[in-house]
């Protein structure tokens, strides 16, 4: 029976106090740490720093806003935990960067955009074979596809 290597995994929510908004609210940031390597991401949530419970990484109080934000943080935690467990189960390992990108949907987006582009190019190639489109235009489309593919790999998959 194959054994997967367990890694250290932690998810922490904290405030980005160095950039308060005009209304005094600050952004809630998430940090995924796996085997000592941290990766941060924005939650798109903000709160008044006076209402933040530093010990538990949650909003204090029972107000509707506090309950709503805490529920959203719980949902984020649940999704990230599931992504981490699925990676361990299917791939045998997980990195903070892979978990972050999967959570943000970057790998899914990259795959979808390139599939659509590839399909367009294949359709265009058939038109070139029939003499209805120019070979030089088809070559330019392939060049753009290759540049886009390289950009996505460099920007999002390092």
Tell me the pLDDT tens digit for each residue of 105-123. 776 555 677 888 889 999 9
Whether residues 58 and 110 share a domain: the answer is no
Q: For residue 125, what pLDDT band results from cuts at 50, 70 and 90?
A: very high
**Residue 35 covered by a domain:** yes
Question: 100 in a domain, yes or no?
Answer: no
Q: Tell me, what's the pLDDT at 153?
A: 75
pLDDT for residue 148: 86
Residue 151 within any structural domain of the chain: yes
Query: Could you tell me which of 122, 80, 88 has the C-alpha nearest to residue 105?
Result: 80
User: Which of 50, 56, 47 is CA-nearest to residue 13?
Assistant: 56
Rounded CA separation 40/124 (Å): 41
Domain count, the chain: 2
Q: Where are the alpha helices (DSSP H) in 1-94?
A: 64-91
Do 81 and 122 fall into the same domain?
Answer: no
Edge-to-edge strand list for the sheet holding 9-16:
9-16, 26-34, 37-47
- Residue 51 placed within a domain: yes
70 falls within a domain = yes
Q: 7-46: per-residue pLDDT in tens?
A: 789 999 999 988 888 888 999 999 999 999 999 999 999 9
Determine the structural domain holding residue 116 and report its residue range: 106-156
Same domain, 16 and 89: yes
In a domain, 15, yes or no: yes
Predicted TM-score (pTM) of the model is: 0.64
pLDDT of residue 71: 96
At 32, is the secondary structure helix, strand, or coil? Answer: strand
The pLDDT confidence band at residue 76, using thresholds 50, 70 and 90, is very high
């Amino acid at each position: 029976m194959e054994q997967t290597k367990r890694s250290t995994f932690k998810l922490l929510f904290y405030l980005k106090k160095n950039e308060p908004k005009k209304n005094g609210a600050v952004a809630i940031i998430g940090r995924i740490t796996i085997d000592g390597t941290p990766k941060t991401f924005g939650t798109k949530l903000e709160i008044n720093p006076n209402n933040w419970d530093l010990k538990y990484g949650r909003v204090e109080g029972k107000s509707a806003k506090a309950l709503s934000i805490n529920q959203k943080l719980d949902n984020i935690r649940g999704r990230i935990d599931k992504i981490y467990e699925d990676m361990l189960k299917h791939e045998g390992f997980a990195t903070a960067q892979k978990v972050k990108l999967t959570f943000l949907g970057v790998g899914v987006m990259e795959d979808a955009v390139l599939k659509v582009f590839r399909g367009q190019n294949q359709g265009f190639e058939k038109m070139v074979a029939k003499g209805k489109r120019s070979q030089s235009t088809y070559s330019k489309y392939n060049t753009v596809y290759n540049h886009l593919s390289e950009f996505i790999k460099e920007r999002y998959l390092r």
